[in-house]
């Protein structure tokens, strides 16, 4: 799993301490997910009311596009003081996304519980910034073609080896056959009893 190294913004009630991807690189049209960890660094309960991952990327035609992804968990989610909650954010990349590094910003909205008033109030919005790498489809095509070439070479080598083995087998069989034939002929002439010569009357 690839750890996303980014700038963590310290906030009054919570911070996003860690974000991970389920892959090191992605291809156009691929799906995956981000795991984002939100830490409650206060003495009161907080709740995460919204969490998103914003991606701004280019299409292959150069058009800039911004897209937001949201967690599969139903929000709001409460976090006890000193505890961390990890959320999974599914992502789905367009099929015509341009390869390269793209910006990824994870943002959370939190509420802070106030014991004195027994109510929730809006708190800060921690963010986590990093990059996501989109691999060129040509690289994948090249690697596939190289693998196919390697498989073909291995198949040809195997066929050559099988052909050599078959040739060796045929030679050995021929020599063995000729040897037995010669031995049989020798034994036939050696062991054959001579016919008696007829005496004149």
55 with 69: CB under 8 angstroms? yes
The CA distance from 25 to 21, in Å, is 9
The tens-digit pLDDT sequence of the chain (201 residues) is 444 444 343 345 689 999 989 988 999 899 999 999 999 988 899 999 999 999 988 777 778 888 999 998 899 999 999 999 999 999 999 888 888 888 899 999 999 999 889 999 998 899 999 888 998 876 555 556 667 767 777 777 777 777 777 777 778 778 878 787 777 676 666 666 555 555 555
Residues 43 and 101 in one domain: yes
Q: What total number of domains does the chain contain?
A: 2
Residues 73 and 154 in one domain: no
| Helix/strand/coil for 69 | strand
Residues 77 and 101 in one domain: yes
- State pTM to two decimals: 0.62
Residues 62 and 120 in one domain: yes
Q: Which residue, 115, 135, 155, sits at the end of a domain?
A: 135
Residues 116 and 41 in one domain: yes
98: domain range? 2-135
Residue that has been written with the tokens 């206060």 in this structure:
42
Residue that has been written with the tokens 């195997």 in this structure:
158
Is 201 a member of any domain?
A: no
Residues 154 and 117 in one domain: no
For the record, the structure tokens of 76 come out as 């709001």
């Amino acid at each position: 799993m690839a750890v996303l190294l980014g700038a963590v913004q310290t906030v009054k009630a919570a911070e996003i301490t860690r974000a991970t991807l389920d892959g090191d690189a992605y291809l156009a049209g691929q799906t995956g997910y981000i795991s984002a960890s939100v830490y409650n660094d206060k003495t009161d309960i907080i709740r995460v009311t919204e969490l998103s991952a914003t991606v701004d990327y280019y299409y292959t035609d150069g058009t800039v596009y911004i897209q937001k992804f949201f967690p599969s968990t139903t929000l709001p989610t409460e976090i006890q003081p000193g505890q961390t909650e990890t959320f999974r954010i599914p992502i789905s990349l367009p099929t015509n996304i341009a390869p390269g590094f793209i910006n990824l910003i994870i943002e959370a909205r939190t509420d802070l519980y106030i014991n004195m008033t027994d109510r929730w109030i809006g708190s800060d919005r921690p963010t986590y910034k990093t990059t996501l790498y989109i691999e060129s489809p040509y690289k994948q095509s090249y690697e596939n073609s190289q693998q196919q070439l390697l498989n073909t070479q291995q198949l040809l080598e195997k066929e050559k080896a099988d052909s050599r083995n078959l040739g060796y087998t045929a030679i050995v069989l021929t020599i063995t056959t000729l040897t037995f034939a010669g031995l049989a002929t020798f034994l036939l002439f050696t062991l054959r009893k001579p016919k008696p010569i007829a005496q004149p009357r």
